Amino acid sequence: MNKEMFVKKLKDKLDILEDSVQEEEINEYVKKIEEQEKNDLKEEDIIKSFGSINEISRKILKKHGINPNKVLKKDRFLYKKFEELFEVIHKVVDVMSKNSLEENAKIILDILILIAFVCLLKIPFVAIRDLGDSLLSYTSIPVLYNLWGILIDIIYIIVAVFVFMNIFTKWFKNLKSTKKLKVKSLDTVTLEDKKE
């Protein structure tokens, strides 16, 4: 990682701090990099010696009395996925508010197709559940039979939600409003018209 990328990532991690404090902390690391570069060390090696961005940001946040466990939740996988999904939903709603009824119907049709696909995804899970049910029917423990069904349903729900989220965000991420500004044509005036 080079210095610019390091500064960008660290700035992103420290976005909870005031700009002046954030700048002061980042400048400390930039000065350390520049000082060690004078000793013919490579930028990447110097940055590696600091530790990971998460370790550095945790240390800085603790220094300023902030609990990093509460702040750095946004780095977690689920948090990022749901944040991305909500950004795309907001974008879809925004685009739909600007589009015509016909264009909105196309977007709604795409969403319905996506929902139908997620429903079709249930078929292999039903087959697996039936297979497990038939194997467990020979046992004399009915609890296993019920737990198997619940487990397969939970796995399907998790898979369906993630598939829906991934496809929805990729499908609609680059959605743009098709509403065009109408420009009134201007009458052209010639020099002869001006003379009259």
pLDDT in tens, 33-83: 888 888 888 888 888 888 888 888 888 888 888 877 766 555 566 767 777
In a domain, 11, yes or no: yes
In a domain, 184, yes or no: no
> Quick check: helix, strand or coil at residue 141?
coil
Length of the chain: 196
Domain identity same for 108 and 137: yes
Domain identity same for 49 and 89: no
In a domain, 70, yes or no: yes
The structural domain count of the chain equals 2
The number of beta carbons lying within 10 Å of the beta carbon of residue 185 is 5
pLDDT in tens, 8-17: 888 888 878 8
In a domain, 29, yes or no: yes
**What's the pLDDT band for 125 if we cut at 50, 70, 90?**
very high
Last residue of a domain, which of 75, 99, 127?
75
Domain identity same for 100 and 155: yes
Domain identity same for 99 and 28: no
Distance CA 73, CA 84 (A): 14
Of the candidates 63, 32, 65, 62, the one whose C-alpha atom is nearest the C-alpha of residue 49 is: 32
Structural domain harbouring 154: 77-172
Distance CA 24, CA 4 (A): 16
In a domain, 102, yes or no: yes
In a domain, 164, yes or no: yes
In a domain, 126, yes or no: yes
The burial class, CB within 10 Å (0-12 / 13-18 / 19+), for 97 is: exposed
145, two tokens: 């039979």
What are the φ and ψ backbone dihedral angles of 16, each rounded to 5 degrees?
-80, -25
146, two tokens: 């019920």
42, two tokens: 């490579």
In a domain, 100, yes or no: yes
Domain identity same for 101 and 17: no
